[in-house]
Chain A
């Protein structure tokens, strides 16, 4: 091979951005087209530096916007390359139009989405507002709770996304700053093991295969549009979940790290649980353990696979508990909560009697403290004891001013 390898230590201390950049290097991504935005910038900077230092055989394409970044990624993927990029917040917002192009054209691209608030007011810190802009875009969406997982999910994303039965792009989410700029221990794979896991890229219907000319980005109108969209949805519902399970199993064999579409912590005998995403999952796990010492049977459900949404696994995780709080790190702006609605949808038509309450928290990077979570578990226990909600269904955690509650 024409590039140099890096001898990594068994345990490195990396932040989530650098962990993601290392995964892009080890996957030997052919093309990264990117436009920088906080807090995702170090991922594509990292790729560019690895490339300049001859650790990658690939191309870094500088473009004039995030819209152009994803457009160039689409072109490179259609041409037949392994492609990735990264963005956040306003950049993602500008990129949204092209996300639908990528998934509709069935192009495997890995997008690192370092979750950040959306303006106005302008804010560079972490929340999940940008995540929900991608919700219906037809991409596979994974969530990392820590730098280790940002690394692991990138490798997994390529393997799922590029499978010829799947051919759908994948987003790897991580919390802006709380993961992306937080250095922690990461156990990387060796360069050879990581590349062998991801595999040599095998293009399908690539435009540079001149022996087999193809057209990408076609117009279909009423005649075929619906069938294309239905097939994409079908593949997300039917093919992707089993592929993710298979790749998670392969990854566990290789690394010893076991991932599940729904990550349950101390749920087997739990009475009350917190359902959340990102770094909050880990903090909640620590608090849940402390609550058990205080006599509250607390558990945590973390969502690893956001799309396709694992309805059955979510319902199964929550079926025997008494009360669950669904945490939304984005403003619902006139609804019950993006994740609240998903969880409620997974429980409907089941026998579960779990009491469901929703909490909006952490907007613009507002801290979710352990003290907040202690109060939350106590409130859930009160609901469980009363056999009904003791508060209104929707509340806010950590916002100043008068207490807000609705519904």
Chain B
């Protein structure tokens, strides 16, 4: 079982990202689950989304999760949320930030000693898609760190997920995914 927790703000696309990732993975024969905690949260409120991936049908519907990966797609959430909650010793973090890893760990000491990867998904999204929607770049970074799929296969799969968007936006997302794949540290 592979488990992922997303930290996001409502409106940044974590649910869409989690569902898109689940859809891509399900085409490769794995079983998937994607869900989120909403409450009555409005745009801008901190929220979490989740992925489960397994070789057999996923029967577990508990919300509790000890994630293998934590994605943080809003840079401020490492300070205002506990992104390390319920983590395992080997949980990997991919965090959106303009800081270096050293600066980030210094600013948030809870991340000290953890496997932390950084990538500036907000800037990448602004410069490619034109809006601060950091979900697809995060998935590009995840492909690099997890080595789950070849990036070309992943991008082709995401084109299908995004097919209802205008071609210009799809193309921009492809660039964003590739940039995050190349730039994640």
Where the two chains meet, the residues of A that have a C-beta atom closer than 8 Å to any C-beta of B are: 11, 13, 15, 38, 124-125, 175, 177-178, 181-185, 279-280, 282-283, 285-286, 367-371
Minimum CB distance partner of B29 in chain A: A11
Does B85 lie at the interface of the complex (its beta carbon under 8 Å from any beta carbon of A)? no
Closest Cβ of chain B: how far from A238's Cβ, in Å? 35
Chain B residues whose C-beta falls within 8 Å of the C-beta of A175 in the assembled complex: 61
Contact at B22–A367, with CB atoms within 8 Å?
no
What sequence of 0s and 1s flags, for each residue 46-69 of chain B, a beta carbon within 8 Å of any chain A beta carbon? 000000000001111111100000
Closest Cβ of chain A: how far from B4's Cβ, in Å? 13
Chain A residues whose C-beta falls within 8 Å of the C-beta of B101 in the assembled complex: none
Chain A residues whose C-beta falls within 8 Å of the C-beta of B22 in the assembled complex: 13, 183-184
Minimum CB distance partner of A283 in chain B: B61
B27, B39, B57, B59 pick with most chain A CB within 10 angstroms: B59
24 contacts across the A-B interface (CB closer than 8 A):
A13-B19, A13-B26, A15-B19, A38-B40, A124-B40, A125-B39, A177-B38, A181-B35, A182-B33, A183-B19, A183-B34, A183-B35, A184-B33, A184-B58, A185-B31, A279-B61, A282-B60, A282-B61, A283-B61, A285-B59, A286-B59, A367-B63, A368-B62, A370-B64
Contact at B62–A184, with CB atoms within 8 Å?
no
Given contacts A13-B26, A368-B62, A370-B60, 14 further A-B pairs with CB under 8 A are A13-B19, A15-B19, A124-B38, A124-B39, A181-B38, A183-B33, A184-B34, A279-B61, A280-B61, A282-B59, A286-B59, A367-B64, A368-B61, A370-B62
Minimum CB distance partner of B52 in chain A: A184
Does B10 lie at the interface of the complex (its beta carbon under 8 Å from any beta carbon of A)? no
Chain A residues whose C-beta falls within 8 Å of the C-beta of B14 in the assembled complex: none
Chain B residues whose C-beta falls within 8 Å of the C-beta of A367 in the assembled complex: 62-64
Chain A residues whose C-beta falls within 8 Å of the C-beta of B18 in the assembled complex: 183
Please report the total number of B residues contacting A with Cβ < 8 Å: 23
Contact at A13–B23, with CB atoms within 8 Å?
yes
Chain B residues whose C-beta falls within 8 Å of the C-beta of A183 in the assembled complex: 18-19, 22-23, 32-35
Contact at B59–A182, with CB atoms within 8 Å?
no
Minimum CB distance partner of A184 in chain B: B33
Chain B residues whose C-beta falls within 8 Å of the C-beta of A15 in the assembled complex: 19
Contact at A181–B36, with CB atoms within 8 Å?
yes
Docked Cα-Cα span, A283 to B34, in Å, equals 16
* Contacts known (A11-B26, A124-B40); A182 close to B35, Cβ less than 8 A: yes
Minimum CB distance partner of B20 in chain A: A13
Minimum CB distance partner of A148 in chain B: B57
Minimum CB distance partner of A373 in chain B: B62
Closest Cβ of chain B: how far from A400's Cβ, in Å? 15
* Contacts known (A183-B32, A183-B33, A184-B32); A178 close to B23, Cβ less than 8 A: no
Docked Cα-Cα span, A279 to B33, in Å, equals 13
Chain A residues whose C-beta falls within 8 Å of the C-beta of B36 in the assembled complex: 181
Where the two chains meet, the residues of B that have a C-beta atom closer than 8 Å to any C-beta of A are: 18-19, 22-23, 26-27, 31-36, 38-40, 57-64
Chain B residues whose C-beta falls within 8 Å of the C-beta of A279 in the assembled complex: 61
Docked Cα-Cα span, A182 to B64, in Å, equals 14
Contact at B38–A369, with CB atoms within 8 Å?
no
Docked Cα-Cα span, A177 to B35, in Å, equals 8
Contact at B64–A369, with CB atoms within 8 Å?
yes
Closest Cβ of chain A: how far from B11's Cβ, in Å? 16
Contact at B32–A13, with CB atoms within 8 Å?
yes
Chain B residues whose C-beta falls within 8 Å of the C-beta of A178 in the assembled complex: 35, 61, 63
Docked Cα-Cα span, A11 to B27, in Å, equals 8
Minimum CB distance partner of B37 in chain A: A177
The 4 A-B pairs of least Cβ separation, nearest first, read: A279-B61, A182-B35, A282-B59, A183-B34
Docked Cα-Cα span, A369 to B57, in Å, equals 18
Minimum CB distance partner of B62 in chain A: A369
Contact at B61–A182, with CB atoms within 8 Å?
yes
Contact at B33–A283, with CB atoms within 8 Å?
no
Residue from the list B23, B27, B34 in contact with A182, Cβ < 8 A: B34
A38, A285, A286 pick with most chain B CB within 10 angstroms: A286
A175, A183, A283 pick with most chain B CB within 10 angstroms: A183
Minimum CB distance partner of A288 in chain B: B59
B22, B60, B62 pick with most chain A CB within 10 angstroms: B62
Closest Cβ of chain B: how far from A264's Cβ, in Å? 15
Docked Cα-Cα span, A182 to B22, in Å, equals 11
Docked Cα-Cα span, A178 to B31, in Å, equals 17
Docked Cα-Cα span, A38 to B18, in Å, equals 20
Closest Cβ of chain A: how far from B29's Cβ, in Å? 9
Residue from the list A11, A177, A181, A283 in contact with B62, Cβ < 8 A: A283
Closest Cβ of chain A: how far from B46's Cβ, in Å? 17
Minimum CB distance partner of B56 in chain A: A286
Chain A residues whose C-beta falls within 8 Å of the C-beta of B58 in the assembled complex: 184
Docked Cα-Cα span, A184 to B54, in Å, equals 12
Chain A residues whose C-beta falls within 8 Å of the C-beta of B19 in the assembled complex: 13, 15, 183
Closest Cβ of chain B: how far from A329's Cβ, in Å? 12
Minimum CB distance partner of A9 in chain B: B27
Chain B residues whose C-beta falls within 8 Å of the C-beta of A369 in the assembled complex: 62-64
Chain A residues whose C-beta falls within 8 Å of the C-beta of B27 in the assembled complex: 11
Chain A residues whose C-beta falls within 8 Å of the C-beta of B63 in the assembled complex: 178, 367, 369
